[in-house]
Chain A
């Protein structure tokens, strides 16, 4: 599931 605000990215 994706996290709002791109905070699942590095």
Chain B
């Protein structure tokens, strides 16, 4: 564990707490892409299949349980209590391409052809693009609530900081894995426009609006 990974994990934790707070406070899931939330649920379930077979630490297990449980809770609540508060007509990104693309990528690029390893790799590739339905929806509406922008910033910073963690681990431990590195880079590039608007507008107290 190093400071980049710890802060990254805490940013990830914070992002989910901010999202739960947004939904509770505004009593609405408006502006949140259900499809992105569904993809994150698939990402965490497929990545943490080793939950019961591979013990790392209490920290590791607690975080895994939290990420699976919270993403499941959000997907469930968006379909139940908050079903009427968000508009599926705005959430039109075709996630079949992302699900299929990640499957093809993990079948071609993986380190071991085993059940757990393939699902882990699938989750890595899928996470890289899971934000696309959310970004697509925001590009259609052209704006986002400030709390939603904070949520997305924390979520994007999490994987961005993991990229820094991988560079640091390579320098200090000689540890290197190019699949998560490349996927993390892809995700960070996809976030570039969002980060630009976040830093230039939201952090200066203005509303998140696309030019």
Contact = CB atoms under 8 A, between A and B. Distances in A.
Contacts of B64: 10
Given A2-B173, A2-B175, A7 B67 contact: no
B interface SS class:
helix
Interface string A1-10: 0110111111
A10 B124 CA distance: 10
B173 A7 contact: no
Contact of A7 (B56, B165, B169): B56
Contacts, number: 28
Interface residues of B, number: 21
B113 to A, nearest CB: 14
A10 B111 contact: no
B38 interface: no
Nearest to B8: A10
B127 to A, nearest CB: 11
A6 B60 contact: no
A7 to B, nearest CB: 6
B107 to A, nearest CB: 18
B173 A10 contact: no
A10 B67 contact: yes
Given A2-B173, A2-B175, A8 B56 contact: yes
Contacts of A7: 50, 54, 56, 120
B5 interface: yes
Interface of A: 2-3, 5-10
Given A9-B162, A10-B12, 10 more contacts: A2-B169, A2-B173, A5-B117, A6-B175, A7-B50, A7-B120, A8-B60, A9-B5, A10-B63, A10-B67
24 contacts: A2-B169, A2-B173, A2-B175, A3-B54, A3-B56, A5-B111, A5-B117, A5-B177, A6-B175, A7-B50, A7-B54, A7-B56, A7-B120, A8-B56, A8-B57, A8-B60, A9-B5, A9-B165, A9-B180, A10-B12, A10-B60, A10-B63, A10-B64, A10-B67
